[in-house]
Structure 1
Amino acid sequence: MTQLPTPSSTENLHVTGFTPLATPRQLKAKVPLSARAEATVLAGRRAAREILRGEDGRLLAVVGPCSVHDLGEALEYAERLAALRARVAGRLEVQMRVYVDKPRTTVGWRGFLLDPRMDGSNDIGQGLRLTRELMVRVSELGLPVATELLDPFAPQYLFDAVAWACLGARTAESQTHRVMASAVSAPMGFKNGTGGGIKLAVDAIVAARHPHAFFTIDDDGRACVVHTSGNPDGHVILRGGRTGPNYAAPFVAEAAALMEGAGLPPAVMVDCSHANSGSDCARQGPVWRDVLGQRLAGQEAVRGLMLESNLRPGKQAIPADLSQLQPGVSVTDACVGWEETEALLLEAHDQLGSRVALGTR
């Protein structure tokens, strides 16, 4: 039940109410991480870590919807991707994008976590529960979950079910998010900024590798200071910027050189969407193939690819009448459809061939 703020002359002047939430411990007890899901999370983290460190010759592929907006459709996608993951596992480590919290330049739907019914009701309690249920069920399929670190308190509720995470272009420069990343138990990707600068991402990785202390809540919802040891498994994600794409070979080489100059292992993932595709989902395939070609040509720094993909291609606006939503179509960025997703992953699997053996990539 929403509680009204206590009147005061100096605070809560623009607050209309407070709605209590379950604590992280209570939600984890209600939606526990099963033994099968836990094994998937741990195996997914280990695989991603070893690929990024160059100890596993496969390619990390983070694939899935720009944003989750329908639980049933997300699970249908996950079932398909889990089956495809098994087919390509010898050469690709496939993990599913389960993105539920969307950064906004101004206003708009902020994601399944914060507004699961897409009607402005902002039932965050339901969003937390449904998101955790989804992450656990996806993991139970043997499919590791990948997501974005955005909300400061969400990790306490969800990140035990996450195998890989990232900071986006808007948050990689944020001190708050860099220190949060230092606490994450999973490998972390850091995107270049919206301007396209790669050094920003490298600086974020360096910051997150160091110990920090920051303010948050514990599993019982109490305010606390978290002390971290630093996250050693950061890598760059190239997503393009205002000046254009940055997936081509010179940019990958620049990212690798900047990482090495900072004393970091050169590990680069390329986001095939966003500014690298000019926000045109038809361009994701050519970007994917170009970067795969760089890997096949011997660019060892290419360790991963990200693809925004859904059941059906394209995107749609959120209609006032939600019954008019087109099934399987993104409500945020345009995505490639399932058929193209399957073709790109199988093509990469076939082309990588024997090159996955260490020393022969």
Structure 2
Amino acid sequence: MNASICALPNTAHTDTQTVLTQRLPSSFELKQHLPLSAQLSRQVRQQREAIRAILNGEDSRLLIVVGPCSIHDPISALEYASRLAALSHDLSDDMLLVMRAYVEKPRTTVGWKGLAYDPHLDASDDMAHGLTLSRELMIEMLRMGLPIATELLQPMAAGYFDDLLGWVAIGARTTESQIHREMASGLNLPVGFKNGTDASVAIACDAMRSAAHGHRHFGVDSQGHPAIIMTPGNPDTHLVLRGGHSGPNYDRSSVASARAGLEKNAIPARLMVDCSHANSGKDPSRQPDVFNEVLAQRLEGDRSLIGMMLESHLFEGCQPLSRDLRYGVSITDGCLGWEATEQLLSDAAYKLQEQRHSRVAAS
């Protein structure tokens, strides 16, 4: 991996305390340091168009966002990506597999915030290196041919990766945020808004309506200067069902209710189901049950269900952050192991293929 661009220390004095700051490279500087080639830039545009085609019903494949809950080890992440790239090629007639490359981790209180924040896993918070390492990893994954997905948690970090991404999630806790809605309105790529933590879709509907409109808002330009940001609006948003405090929301009744909520707000009825989080009770072994139930609804003809999300790593489960980490095991939410993931996706592709062939034969 390339060396990070240096972060410069600074000190700011206030009436009550001294606040230490450390200057980071601008997003423009990091992109100059780690540029995206013309070939990969074309690839990203094509990947975004492929995802849009699925959202718009022009492509009958399922959109599957799959990968580690969060990336903490570059080596295991690239091994996972290599396996996923091979599987993606095999299943490409029925599924579009998108690599989950999450480098920010939302925290209710405190804890490890992700690779972009603390790449050394030691609370040193070397964010300059974290941003560099995260961008390097994403570029390597693109070179494998994979579309990249991430959750954009800190809007100031978005500019460091926005040219690499094929799909973005806005989380359950930030879907209500005006700042994140404004950010989404300026992204030239598909964005999935998760339902609120209470499982209600009303907040996500408001978010999608807001993101569809242009905004003028405070922000930071590519050079790192405060700026007025003027956005055009984003037509490529959709709802992600992830369950809530009241339980899961991937069953037929919940899906029908969510679809009705979208239609009531004149929002295109396109839904993705997150098979983890509250939908699986945070038990990774239950993700296949959720996945297969959603797949059954799709096979029965519910075209509003455009895809699923899976948290998956090389090995199942999770582990606490420590000095002696097991290779390929998540240090955040528990994940499905690779073998189970591969089998689940392959079985699903076979069912989709059978249905596709039956329709061809019937016609």
The normalised TM-score by structure 1 is 0.95
Distance 2:12 2:342 in 1: 55
Q: How much does 1:14 deviate? A: 5.5
1:7 to 10, 13, 23: 13
Whether the 8 Å CA contact 1:52–1:303 is kept in 2: the answer is yes
Tell whether the 8 Å contact from 1:267 to 1:301 is kept in structure 2 after alignment. yes
Quote the Cα distance in structure 2 between the aligned partners of 1:258 and 1:162: 28
Contact 2:11 2:18 in 1 (8 A): no
Question: How many matched pairs?
Answer: 353
> What is the one-letter code of the residue matched to 2:9?
Q
> Is it true that 1:328 corresponds to 2:334 in the alignment?
no
Aligned to 1:184: 187
Query: Equivalent of 1:304, from 288, 304, 307?
Result: 307
Q: Which residue of 2 aligns with 1:256?
A: 259
- 1:354 Cα shift? 5.4
| Whole-angstrom CA distance in 2 between matches of 1:174 and 1:356 | 41
Alignment of 1:58-73 (within 5 A): 58-73=61-76
Give the Cα separation in 1 of the matches to 2:301 and 2:315. Answer: 34
Residue 3 of structure 2 is matched in structure 1 by: none
Structure 1 runs of 4+ off > 4 angstroms? 354-357
Change (3 A) 1:214 1:297: same
Matched, 1:90 2:93: yes
Amino acid at match of 2:224: G
The whole-number CA distance in structure 2 between the counterparts of 1:210 and 1:297 is: 34
User: RMSD across aligned C-alpha pairs, in angstroms?
Assistant: 1.5
Deviates more, 1:27-36 or 1:56-65: 27-36
Alignment match of 2:206 (pick from 178, 189, 203)? 203
> Structure 1, residues 101-137: CA drift from partner, whole Å, max 9, x if none?
0111111100001111111111110011011111111
Q: Is the 8 A contact 1:116 1:123 kept in 2?
A: yes
Q: Distance in 2 between the 1:51 and 1:9 partners?
A: 54
Work out the percentage of aligned pairs sharing the same amino acid: 48
- Distance change >3 Å, CA 14–CA 290, structure 1 → 2: farther
Equivalences for residues 162-181 of structure 1 within 5 A: 162-181=165-184
Match for 2:144: what amino acid? L
- Whether the aligned pair in 1 keeps the contact of 2:239 and 2:270 (CA below 8 Å) is yes
1-structure distance, mates of 2:10, 2:309: 44
CA distance in 2, matches of 1:39, 1:84: 22
Q: In the alignment, what sits opposite 1:215?
A: 218
How far residue 39 of structure 1 moved from its aligned partner, in angstroms, is: 2.9
Show the counterpart of 2:350. 350
Seen in structure 2, the aligned counterparts of structure 1 residues 6 and 243 have a Cα distance that, compared at 3 Å, is: closer
Residue pair 2:211, 2:234 contacting (<8 A) in 1 also: yes
Task: Note closer, same or farther for the CA distance 1:226–1:354 as it changes in structure 2 (3 Å cut).
Answer: farther
CA-to-partner distance for each residue in 1:189-209, whole Å, 9 max, x for gaps? 000011111121111111110
CA contact (8 A) 1:170 1:194 kept: yes
**What SS is found at the alignment partner of 1:60?**
strand
Larger deviation, residues 54-63 vs 214-223: 214-223
- SS for the counterpart of 1:161 is coil
Structure 2, unmatched stretches of 5+, are 1-6
Q: Give distance in 2, aligned partners of 1:8 and 1:291.
A: 54
Do the aligned residues in 2 keep the contact of 1:211 with 1:228 (CA within 8 Å)?
A: yes
Amino acid at match of 2:329: V
Residue aligned with 2:307, SS: strand
**Structure 1 residue 218, shift from structure 2 partner:** 1.2
Report the counterpart of residue 45 of structure 2 in structure 1. Answer: 42
- Give the AA of the match of 1:311: L
Q: What SS does structure 1 have at the residue aligned with 2:254?
A: helix
Q: SS where residue 181 of structure 1 aligns? A: helix
Pair 1:270-2:276 in alignment: no
- Distance in 2 (alpha carbons) for counterparts of 1:6 and 1:261: 50
Structure 1 segment 97-116 matched on structure 2, within 5 A: 97-116=100-119
Contact 1:139-1:145 at 8 Å conserved across structures = yes
Using the TM superposition, give the Cα deviation of residue 355 of structure 1 relative to its aligned residue in structure 2, in angstroms: 4.3
Q: Could you list the per-position Cα deviations for residues 126-158 of structure 1 after superposition, in whole angstroms to 9, with x for gaps in the alignment?
A: 011011111111011110000011111112111
Residue 337 of structure 2 aligns with which residue? 337
Q: Runs of 5+ in structure 1 lacking a partner?
A: none
What is the deviation of 1:5? 2.2
